[in-house]
């Protein structure tokens, strides 16, 4: 059996990073208006302009660490 290119711990970390990015995209939802003639200032609140992008970038950082990082310990089995 061939060795996986990513460890089980790295895979779990990658899934966690993707979930964090999805949470950031969910934070960005909303702020629209049903009437195109009415401008809604709710689209410029702190959650959509600051919090959501910070959460998305944090998720990307977690995924990068999961891909590039080398994890030692219980993940390593006898070859």
Q: Is 58 exposed, middle or buried (0-12, 13-18, 19+ CB in 10 A)?
A: middle
Q: What is the pLDDT of residues 5-45, one digit of tens each?
A: 788 899 999 999 999 999 999 999 987 778 888 888 888 89
Q: Is 4 left (phi over 0), alpha (psi -120 to 50) or beta?
A: beta
The pLDDT > 90 percentage for the chain reads: 56
Output the pLDDT for position 73. Answer: 59
pLDDT greater than 70 at residue 78: no
Q: Comparing 34 with 59, which gets the higher pLDDT?
A: 59
CB atoms within 10 A of CB 62: 19
Kindly report whether the global pTM for this prediction surpasses the value 0.75.
yes
């Amino acid at each position: 059996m061939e060795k996986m290119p990513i460890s089980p711990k790295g895979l779990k970390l990658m899934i966690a990073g993707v979930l964090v990015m999805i949470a950031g995209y969910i934070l960005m939802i909303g702020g629209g208006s049903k009437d195109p003639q009415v401008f809604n200032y709710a689209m410029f609140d702190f959650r959509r302009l600051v919090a959501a992008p910070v959460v998305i970038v944090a998720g990307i950082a977690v995924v990068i660490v999961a891909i590039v990082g080398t994890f030692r310990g219980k993940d390593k089995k006898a070859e």
